[in-house]
Chains A and B, each alone.
Chain A
């Protein structure tokens, strides 16, 4: 009786302290930057060790000069546009007998050169000797990428026409005006100079115009875009407001990291406690200050595994349906065991009366000390194991943190969104679906490009855990092989307290309603069907560049029968299948390999489209928007809460110097990441959670469809009941 009462008090206390700390540690999205702070040009300048900031007086002065110059250039462009407006008027009467022709393809040289760029807006322009612009013709490329622009030969050869060029335009920014109407803007993507003397009538052919336009990388099996120079020729760009906000948010954090790195270098006695103290207080630190030990308890552990950044997949244990089972498998990926422990993790939970999970058993498979070599050794821990149980939970937190970072965050949202972004920007131009999707798919390729350098590959994760760069690639590759839009629904709540799953489902339904409304709108529907070929090519690009479908050996044996179909008779009921790939569905096959992503349609023309195609389009669009916005927001913004205290959770644990190896207590700092990795870890979690720009409700760039914002606003309270502030849901994957 006494125990029950105490436990009830504990639960209430946890909820109360948690709420209080959530409010206290809420990130301000309007930070002030000191005049004396160093400057940061954009996200791509950040580095794990020492970001490319401009701190010295001369550097900052120089940067101010550069910015002043850039401002002048922008001003001069504005003045230039004012003096020499580009009127939307065709000069001279175009003759159908005099044409400028050519065909647009993707790629450079022979790579991708046979893929036509269709529906691309092209214009023929001339400039007069006094600087005026004269539009001579306009048109768009056809399905084969061919364009044909009629022009007036005699107008071109007027004495005052000085220069002639062909301009290929790309969609610049999507905007929605106050009436909610979509109004995209276009900007020059490529100019092809044409000698005026070469225009002699009949047909002037520009031949194949290769556009280095959202090219697929050939050096990775993942669907990634080519970015040769982030600042010069990237296919996308950040909004100016984004860079400004990022600079304000980021510089104070960077300064802390730099101070720590300097202290480590000078051996000035930096401690873990000081590292945690120096960075802004996060949720777990705040809670620990109020009630020590509260965040190391089983209740908090279960709650965060269910509703925290980790948001684990709670499958029922096939052997004991009363328990829920979470498994993190690291054994198949390339690792080095010199410093870091990385056992496979199995956690079993039971549901408490309030619907939250409580851990009952943890099994770790693999070496736990530096001396052990046996990769298969299993050790099971239960709450009765005292300190060992605490250590096992810590390993689980770290494993879940890394899994959430790599699988949910990087692969599940960043790379996953990128594959849709590339296919979308390559193919959707005139179709209204372009306006629906592009605002949500912006920026992701730029962030991923930066992440390639600082997070994966030889970036932070490799130095902070046992995974090698190849191992990380394997994880991402396999996770991508499990992701498909078809049949996807967010995770189903396993209890009333599963707020993460509830929020996901609520958001999904809102997005689905919005997407359905958009596609079912008669005006949009007509245009969607008219430009259905774009959807077809979008789907083809998506499938052709998708990674092979993947299902681990365990699930293959547990879920599939001899024909590769799901077993029947309820033998697979333990498996949560809604948010996972539909194993009953036939995978599309390219070059004899079954691909992860399903086709949206196989119809090329609007008149062939069926209701099923339309519903698949709705499902795919909902999936893209969901992953790019809420899916990413969850795994990204919660990092500050769940991996913002080094000793509580990091992305890797060392074997340590103690006899128990990684199973030693938190006080053994030889287990925690070293000081450099620790401050970098804190820097990471703070930096990623503090974007401060690109929110759906704030709609800073005016590119979020107003209908979606209205729908979200209607459900503000429902989200609030699930501890979600809709104001922090990002409108794009931009960090």
Chain B
């Protein structure tokens, strides 16, 4: 008789597999973090990506009648200080075709906060597990505004992620929609296990700018160069955001999608490269974010967003292997060392220079 027909054997085998997988996941995460710490954070004083950003401070207010089972942290009507950092992935040029991001810190500090959320443009991601992220990193090979050529060749899902996530010359950081893509745990007061996805949208309905048109769709995803004859400056988006904040507050809505966990859930529900069906998982308002004041380059650069900054019951979903979809958040959570090392390196070796308006493009 095969062992998997005896439930206890099956359970033991699963437990062993998970344990071995977890060890691999932990080891590979640590190895990656150390490499990133040494070569990225200490020597280059850079984040792995999203270096090109601007932060702002303001407040977040949770909605009064959310219409779904609430977690105690999301107390209706509660207002908290908040910071937001917008950035462009990989390149130090706002006019390039890149993914844009929004990171939310529910405190007016650089590090500590009760909750951090990291979001990117595009409802689906370019990679889906630690293993695929390692491939993503391996095949980066940046040259003259081109990168991930081999990755896109091998992984069509990455191409799809790039096509939905990249934005070409958006008019503002404030009119984009940002998604957390990966699901998190959500244990509400009713103690029912749920999974949650976050997104932010402009508080007033405005058309999202920068979505790739037919022309851009035909350009291979690895080509992230600026358009020929581009006149926008390298900092045009950050400048626009500062200007906008000077004119008045910038408002966003924080929305959530919930999925009630069940034993027969397919693992695909955790796949960040797949959207949840909006008909069965509608987006619901959770909070309103209001940004009032831009932060300078130094303050923006020193900020750290961490997956450890999550309230109890809103943490990451456990993962047991580097191929597990939830392992991405595991990696994020366990790579804080690199983040802190970067800030300490900045303190010791000085702040990296600001991005000049006119310089060599496509880098």
Contact = CB atoms under 8 A, between A and B. Distances in A.
B129 A200 contact: yes
Contacts of B155: 200, 202-205
Interface in B308-337: 321, 323
A197 B17 CA distance: 19
B157 A202 contact: yes
B87 to A, nearest CB: 26
Contacts of B132: 200-202
B271 interface: yes
Contacts of B271: 97, 202
Given A198-B135, A201-B129, A202-B132, A207 B153 contact: yes
A154 B157 contact: no
A157 interface: yes
Contacts of B128: 200-202
A97 B154 CA distance: 16
B151 to A, nearest CB: 10
A101 interface: yes
Interface in A126-161: 153-154, 157
A202 B154 CA distance: 11
A200 B153 contact: no
Contacts of A200: 128-129, 131-132, 134-135, 155, 323
Interface in B149-176: 153-157
B135 A97 contact: no
B338 interface: no
Interface in B96-139: 128-129, 131-132, 134-135
B268 interface: yes
Interface in A174-210: 197-198, 200-205, 207
Contact of B154 (A157, A198, A201): A198
Interface string A85-98: 00000000000010
B323 A201 contact: yes
A197 B28 CA distance: 13
B273 interface: yes
A101, A153, A205: residue with the most chain B Cβ atoms closer than 10 Å: A205
Contacts of B268: 97
Contacts of B153: 205, 207
Nearest to A153: B323
A574 B129 CA distance: 80
Interface string B203-230: 0000000000000000000000000000
Contacts of A203: 155-157
Interface in A195-238: 197-198, 200-205, 207
A202 B323 CA distance: 10
Nearest to A207: B153
A452 B91 CA distance: 59
A230 B303 CA distance: 67
Contacts of A197: 131, 135
A446 to B, nearest CB: 37
A374 B309 CA distance: 103
A204 B323 contact: no
B135 A202 contact: no
Interface residues of B, number: 18
Interface majority SS on A: helix, strand, loop or mixed? mixed
A345 B323 CA distance: 79
Contacts of B267: 97
B323 A101 contact: no
Contact of A202 (B17, B134, B273, B321): B273
B156 A157 contact: no
Given A154-B321, A154-B323, A101 B156 contact: yes
A154 B128 CA distance: 15
A456 B316 CA distance: 75
B321 A204 contact: no
Contacts of A154: 17, 321, 323
Contacts of B154: 198, 204-205, 207
A202 B270 CA distance: 12
A583 B135 CA distance: 63
Given A201-B129, A202-B271, A157 B323 contact: yes
A207 B149 CA distance: 13
A101 B153 CA distance: 12
Nearest to A201: B323
A492 to B, nearest CB: 60
A205 B135 contact: no
A201 B128 CA distance: 9
Contacts of B135: 197-198, 200
B127 to A, nearest CB: 8
Nearest to B150: A198
A202 B155 CA distance: 8
Contacts of A205: 153-156
Contacts of A204: 154-155
A157 B155 CA distance: 18
A200 B321 CA distance: 11
Interface string B262-295: 0000011001010000000000000000000000
Contacts of A202: 128, 132, 155, 157, 271, 273
A198 B132 CA distance: 8
A126 to B, nearest CB: 16
Interface in A368-401: none
A57 to B, nearest CB: 55
A157 B132 CA distance: 13
A87 to B, nearest CB: 17
Nearest to A96: B268
Contacts of A157: 323
A166 to B, nearest CB: 13
A201 B324 CA distance: 9
A205 B155 CA distance: 6
A201 B131 contact: yes
Interface string A250-291: 000000000000000000000000000000000000000000
Contacts of B273: 202
Nearest to B132: A200
| Interface core residue of A101, A202, A203 (most chain B CB under 10 Å) | A202
Contacts of B129: 200-201
Contacts of A101: 156
A590 B17 CA distance: 61
Nearest to A204: B154
Nearest to A157: B323
Nearest to B267: A97
Contacts of A97: 267-268, 271
A201 B321 CA distance: 12
A101 B154 CA distance: 9
Contacts of B134: 200
A101 B134 CA distance: 21
A101 B156 CA distance: 10
Contacts of B321: 154
Contacts of A201: 128-129, 131-132, 323
Contacts of A207: 153-154
A463 B302 CA distance: 87
Q: Which of A154, A157, A201: most chain B Cβ within 10 A? A: A201
A204 B128 CA distance: 13
Nearest to B268: A97
A54 B273 CA distance: 64
A136 to B, nearest CB: 15
A154 B154 CA distance: 19
B162 to A, nearest CB: 14
A373 to B, nearest CB: 65
Contacts of B131: 197, 200-201
Nearest to B157: A202
A640 B268 CA distance: 73
Pick the 8 closest A-B CB pairs, nearest first.
Answer: A200-B131, A200-B132, A202-B157, A205-B156, A203-B157, A203-B156, A201-B323, A153-B323
9 contacts: A198-B154, A201-B128, A201-B129, A202-B128, A203-B155, A203-B157, A205-B156, A207-B153, A207-B154
Given A200-B131, A204-B154, 11 more contacts: A97-B268, A157-B323, A200-B128, A200-B132, A200-B134, A200-B323, A202-B271, A203-B155, A205-B153, A205-B154, A207-B153
